Homo-oligomer: A and B are copies of this chain.
Amino acid sequence: MASFKKFRAGPKFKLSGVDPAATPFSSGGDDAQREQLDTLAIELDRLQNVLHAEGRRKLLLVLQGLDTSGKDGTIRWVFSRTSPLGVKVTAFKAPTEEERARDFLWRCHAVVPRAGEITVWNRSHYEDVLVPVVEGWIDKDQTRQRYAQINDFERLLTQTGTVIVKCMLHISKQEQRVRLQERVDQPDKHWKFSLDDLAVRKKWDAYQAAYEKALTATSTDDAPWYVIPADSKHHRNLMIAGLLVKTLKDMKLRVPPADPALKGLVVE
C-alpha cells in the first residue's frame, strides 16, 4: 500500500513534483476501483456513526482545486454511503457584501463542525489566499499575514477537538481542457459552465504558483495539506476516502461507556 505521507505538503513542497495522473493507491481497473471505494465508503459510514456516538470530537475536510478538478464529484462518491445526518457540506462562493464587511475567516468560523460531525468545505478560506494573490489585490506582506491568520484559526480548531484534513485536487492543464470541452459539447451540462472558467484557465501558471505558496505556508502538523492526483476520478475518490478512514481510525473513537444505572431496567 502506498503511503499518504508522500503526498503531504512540507516546507520544501513543489506542486510540479506531484504527477496529476499518478494512481499509487490502486492498480486495478475501473470496476476494481469502484469496489475498493465502496468498501471504504461503508467503513467511513461506520466510523462516522462512532464519531457521532462519542459526540466529542469533529472532523473537517477542506477541499480545494481548480475548476473541474472534481470537488463536487469527490463529495458525491466519498460520502456515497454516509447519512446526511452526520455529514454537512458548505460550498463557499464569491463573498457576499455581508461577508466582505467582516474579516475573511468570519464566514468560515460560522460553519465549523459541531461535536460528532463531519463537515466538508467545498472551497474555503483558502480562496482568500488564491484569487486576491493572482489578481494582485493583496501584496506579499498582506498574503503572509493571511497565512499566519489561517494557521492561528486552524490551531484554535484543532486545540478544541477538530481534526482537520486538507486536500488539494491536482489536475493537469490538459485534463482540465478535456473536462471543460465536455461541458461545452453537452448542452445539458451548459449550466455547469461559465465563460469565467476560461478566463481563470488563462491564469493557470499563476494559480499553480499561488497554490504552491499557500500549501507550503499552511501545511502544519495539526492541519496538513495533501495533494491528490486527480486526473483519474476513481483513484481520486478512493485516495481521499482512504485518507479519511485512516484519519478517523487514528482518532481511536469510542462509543460512550454503558450507564450502570440502566442495568436491569424494564420499560413498561
Contacts and interface: CB of A to CB of B under 8 A. Distances in A.
Q: How big is the A interface, by class?
A: 35 or more
A169 interface: no
Contact of A190 (B91, B120, B191, B262): B262
A184 interface: yes
Interface stretch (A26-34, A207-215, A216-224, A251-259): A251-259
A76 interface: yes
A191 B83 contact: no
A82 B79 CA distance: 9
Interface in A40-68: 53, 55
Interface in A183-240: 184, 187-188, 190-191, 193, 198, 201
Nearest to A73: B83
A181 interface: yes
With a 10 A CB-CB cut-off, give which of A82, A83, A265 has the most chain B CB atoms: A83
A266 interface: yes
A181 B255 CA distance: 19
B267 A198 contact: yes
Contacts of A188: 255, 258
A266 B181 CA distance: 7
Given A88-B88, A188-B255, 11 more contacts: A72-B85, A75-B83, A76-B83, A84-B88, A84-B89, A177-B267, A184-B262, A190-B256, A190-B259, A198-B267, A201-B267
